[in-house]
Amino acid sequence: MNMRFWVAVASADHVAIGVAQGFMQVCHGKAGPLKRLNAEDWVAYYSPTQTLGGKDKLQAFTAIGQIKLGEPYQVEITPEFKPYRRDVAWSQVGRLPIRPLLPNLSFSKSTPNWGYQLRFGLFEVTRDDLKQIYQGLAVTSSLL
């Protein structure tokens, strides 16, 4: 199976919870997007804000890691909210602003509407895209 590379979208506060507990969650807990991921795929989190629904713009990559073996699983947060998650081995955590990378990332270098894809919550990128994000986070790496 070929390794694939992804960008997921969530507030930095939510990313920090996932990093601390070793999981990822996307699209308000939907299982479908997580089923597209395979063990050993890499995922980078982009955080448009610090808090969910907040006006506190961040626009930075905040974590990167590799998907672990296993399928998406459901957890109960409240009786009404039972999101699906996927286990991840997080390797870099920090703050890497996206704007300096825009001319170099495959999904943004030829379009002024680079943010459009982010609305999907999870999308595939190139190995080179993820490598640039990984290297940038390695420089800014810190605990959230």
Pairing of strands 5-9, 42-49: parallel
CA distance 53 to 1: 37
**Which domain does 76 fall in, by range?**
5-140
Please choose, from the candidates 107, 100, 108, the residue with its C-alpha nearest in 3D space to the C-alpha of residue 135. 100
Which residues, 6+ apart, have CB-to-CB distance to 31 below 8 Å? 72, 74, 84
pLDDT in tens, 49-75: 998 777 889 999 999 999 999 999 999
pLDDT at 82 over 50: yes
Q: How many domains does the chain have?
A: 1
Per-residue pLDDT band for 141 (boundaries 50, 70, 90) equals low
Which is more confident, 107 or 53?
107
Cβ-contact 96, 77 below 8 angstroms: no
Residue 76 has pLDDT above 80, yes or no: yes
- The 10s digit of each residue's pLDDT in 3-22 is 999 999 999 999 999 999 99
